[in-house]
Amino acid sequence: AQKVTQAQTEISVVEKEDVTLDCVYETRDTTYYLFWYKQPPSGELVFLIRRNSFDEQNEISGRYSWNFQKSTSSFNFTITASQVVDSAVYFCALSEAKKSSGDKLTFGTGTRLAVRP
């Protein structure tokens, strides 16, 4: 069975601080995908990134960066120089990469990030 753990329930930072959101996953599959989504107060889940289990390269997109470490089953997300607009709930998710499983996502419980001015 798959499981995603986001141990941080809530994080509060002051604007311009860097913040890292932790994600630890469990799966028996050798091939899988990892995702991060942002959910602002409006409710819509906004896709941020997808990472294939074979690709352990870290990725940077503007102020966002992701650190994927297979050895520790972690896929952490860092926001550099946080802004008030980053305030949202962030979800980490996992899906198997086999046809029989389709595109089912297993989500973590989310981390609520509050960025104070």
- List of residues contacting another protein (CB under 8 A): 33, 35, 37, 42-47, 50, 91, 93, 95, 97, 101-110
Closest CB to another protein among residues 9, 71: 9
Torsion of CA 78, 35, 40, 87, to 10 degrees: -10
Cβ–Cβ under 8 Å, residues 36 and 48: yes
Those residues whose C-beta lies under 8 Å from the C-beta of residue 54, and which sit 6 or more positions away, are 31
Buried b / exposed e over 81-109, threshold 16 CB at 10 Å, is ebeeebbbbbbbbbbbeeeeeeeebbebe
